[in-house]
Amino acid sequence: MLKLVFCCLFSVSGLLPLAASSAPNKTENVFLITVDGFRWQEVFGGADAFLMNKEHGGVADTNRLNAAFWRATPEERREALLPFFWSAIAHEGQLYGNTNKGSVAVLTNGKKFTYPGFNEILTGFADDRITRNEKRNNPNVTVLEWLHQKSAFTNRVVAFANWDVFPYILNTQRSGIPMWTGFETNSLFLVSPRFEMVEQLFRDTTPVWPDMNFDSFFLHAAVEYMKAKKPRVVWIAFSETDEWAHEGRYDHYLWAAHKVDGYVRALWETVQALPEYRQKTTFLLTCDHGRGGGLADWKNHGAAVAGAENIWLAVLGPDTPGLGERTGAQPIGQNQIAATMTALLGEDYHRAVPRSGTPIADVLPASK
């Protein structure tokens, strides 16, 4: 019943503002940036004192971690952890998901793990057939594939995703969208000495996990590709946060999140330096699922983990009013992200796929 209520809510919210659409958007390009399993608690409150220790957070060097991320107030802690979020996005864009301030952002799939979460982000709806994290081609057409089928976006959509299951979620075999995971290095057709160096470093790095690598490779691969090919729609999936949390390493989890904040800054600065992107590119940042709370469940997520349904969303771009951190805002759902992406690009995914959530009206221009 709860799932039905959320789906109904997110299917009707924003319809009237969208119907008033008139003036063209400034956004011509969209970057979807996902941070796997990164909790809203750290986004809005910074480091958790109860986890910054060996017993509950597996922290190897508490002095170093405290010096880097502990501050007197939640506002200072979040700024230390995510300086770009709280210096740029919080002033020029919008952030959703601080449940302590009445900003509710949730997934609707009920599964609370990766494949269902990314299916919901990329299609705008939950699919009960998706029950496992497995290398099985997604039967659904994602919003990226939907855009790729349009002449204005054909060969202008690309993905850089840190997990070897992501090609199946995007169904690259059917969609034809190029994706770089590091494990398949011949799909981008980019001849560049710097890109080849990134690939070589990826191969030469001692693997920590069998199915993914370090997020830094994906930043640099994406930057080199966008400089050379100028794609209009880019999905970059960072994944270290989820892995380190599962391993109970709160120190590495925080450092990985802090690094992602720096990667987003670097991407934004690169975008503003290129005429094809400057003042006409929007970033949407989110996570595929949340995590539990307390001293143990912060490591976990899944259907049985309370609180793992809570996510967050950040939007920064020329069409999004700079309302900053939202408080007491209309609840939003993960199923609204796909339609919001296309609405910013002047396309109507929700009309084509009515089971998807509607665009989030508040991140669109006021005339929308």
pLDDT tens digits for range 238-296: 999 999 999 999 999 999 999 999 999 999 999 999 999 999 999 999 999 999 999 99
Across the chain, how many H-helices and E-strands are there? 18, 10
Residue type, 37: G
Tokens of 122: 């990329």
pLDDT, residue 186, reads: 47
DSSP 8-class letter at 34: E
HSE toward the beta carbon, residue 243, CA cutoff 13 A: 16
Which residues sit opposite 103 in a β-bridge?
none
pLDDT tens digits for range 95-129: 999 999 999 999 999 999 999 999 999 999 999 99
pLDDT tens digits for range 299-339: 999 999 999 999 999 999 999 999 999 999 899 999 999 99
Tokens of 355: 């089971």
pLDDT, residue 23, reads: 66
Q: Which helix (H) or strand (E) holds 51?
A: none
Do the Cβ atoms of 244 and 253 come closer than 8 Å?
Answer: yes
Rounded-to-integer distance, Cα 359 and Cα 347, Å = 11
Contacts of 174 (CB under 8 A, 6+ apart): 137, 145
Do the Cβ atoms of 286 and 241 come closer than 8 Å?
Answer: no
Rounded-to-integer distance, Cα 256 and Cα 243, Å = 10
- Indicate if the pLDDT at residue 1 is higher than 90: no
The rounded Cα 277 to chain-centroid distance in angstroms is 19
Residue type, 267: L
The confidence band for 191, taking pLDDT boundaries of 50, 70 and 90, is confident
| 2-27+43-363: CATH topology | Alkaline Phosphatase, subunit A (3.40.720)
Rounded-to-integer distance, Cα 128 and Cα 344, Å = 28
